[in-house]
Amino acid sequence: MKKYLVLLGIVMLLSLGGCGKYTVGNAINDFAKKVENSKSYKLSGTMEINNDEEVYTYSIESNFLKDDYYKVILVNQTNNHEQVILKNMDGLYVVTPNLNKSFKFDSIWPENSSQAYLLMNLVNDLKNDAEASLEETDNNYILKSKVNYPNNEELVYQKITFDKNMNIEKVEVFNEEDIVKIKVNFKNVDLKAKLKEDDFLLEDLIDVEEENKDISNNDKNCDQKEGECNDTKTNVTLESIIYPLYIPANTHLDSSESVSTDEGDRVILTFAGDKNFVIVEEVAQASNEFEIIPVFGDPLMLNEAIGAMSSNSISWQASGISYYLVGSDLSQNEMVNIAKSLGNATTVISTK
């Protein structure tokens, strides 16, 4: 009888993962328990975005505090361009510190889509997929599940890699051709980060406001005797026009217009046909005062930057250029495809 009980106990331990064996349900539950028990976490690593033509690499840091505080810092490793997704009790922002600008969103992000760098979103993807599967290798467990990216239909499933203690190591998001389109490698994972609400303040991200004011003041040539002060403005030249590589069927470039404004050159590209839309390009410039631009939409991860997406437009800054794409005839996925196709080297034509 004692031998029977011992054997029964061993079988139960094996089924529960006591000897390194997991069922898919037990693996998901173990991961979910770790995440749900974390009051705050800090993750750091790298994120790669594969756009077929190029791979864009970011350093990434994700911070979370219950309830509903997020700060995700992304730095493009090619041009050192930094952006921050910040969510606190005041709202949701995408901040570009070096431009002294921020989009403020009316959005329920991040609950409305998958996010490869946020742990609860990964847990939800696993729990919501009745067909989630588990693979075991010599050193890892790999959980596979469907994903939900409403603005990127090509992303269909993900593989989440853990060590044998169910500590997360890597997330890969695939398209239908089994090509990795997004890869997040976690270098440091702290599930007991002891973050506070003060770590999620918008004003802490506004690090160029005073510097810009000083520059603005230095640009003024003031003659104190005459009591006159003249502002010196620099007209910024747009060195090239950037055309989209992707254009919807039966649609063509109808006109290309360059105009001069007080801030510099601006290019307006008008496309006509079955899908009418407009692209506006100009040199991105820092604001003297911190600027908050309201958006009824969601943050959108493009190749080189985080943009602001509404029902019929996308705004973003990349490689020193500010873009605005608008078209009521376009679906959201068509808008995303057009935006992602901008910046390819074969689509850049000099204005000179």
For the chain, domains (ranges, CATH) are: 20-190 (2.50.20.10), 240-350 (3.30.200.100)
**Alpha-carbon radius of gyration of the chain:** 24
pLDDT for the residue numbered 16: 47
For residues 301 and 45, what is the distance between their CA atoms, to the nearest angstrom?
Answer: 17
For residues 293 and 286, what is the distance between their CA atoms, to the nearest angstrom?
Answer: 14
DSSP-based three-state secondary structure for 230: strand
* Cβ atoms within 10 Å of 213's Cβ, excluding its own: 13
Angle between helices 24-36 and 119-128 (to 10 degrees): 150
One pLDDT digit (tens) per residue for the chain, 352 residues: 555 555 555 555 544 444 457 899 999 999 999 999 999 999 999 999 998 888 999 999 999 999 899 999 999 999 899 999 999 999 999 999 999 999 999 999 999 999 999 999 999 999 999 999 999 999 999 999 999 999 898 999 999 999 999 999 999 999 999 999 999 999 999 999 999 999 999 999 985 444 444 444 444 444 444 444 444 444 557 888 999 999 999 999 999 999 988 878 899 999 999 999 999 999 988 888 899 999 988 999 999 899 999 989 999 998 889 999 999 999 999 999 999 999 654 444 444 4
At 197-208, the pLDDT tens digits run 999 999 999 854
CB–CB of 193/41 below 8 Å? yes
For residues 270 and 243, what is the distance between their CA atoms, to the nearest angstrom?
Answer: 11
pLDDT for the residue numbered 59: 98
Pairing of strands 348-350, 321-326: unpaired
Token pair of 106, please?
């009316």
Going by C-alpha positions, the residue among 281, 20, 286, 225 that lies closest to residue 136 is 20
CA distances from 34 to 65, 123, 186 (A): 14, 10, 16
For residues 184 and 93, what is the distance between their CA atoms, to the nearest angstrom?
Answer: 22
Pairing of strands 291-295, 313-318: unpaired
Phi first, then psi, for residue 288 (nearest 5°) are -70, -35
For residues 340 and 335, what is the distance between their CA atoms, to the nearest angstrom?
Answer: 9
pLDDT for the residue numbered 218: 44
Going by C-alpha positions, the residue among 119, 108, 138, 111 that lies closest to residue 184 is 119
Amino acid at 31: F
At 9-38, the pLDDT tens digits run 555 554 444 445 789 999 999 999 999 999
Going by C-alpha positions, the residue among 235, 207, 231, 206 that lies closest to residue 217 is 231
For residues 134 and 143, what is the distance between their CA atoms, to the nearest angstrom?
Answer: 5
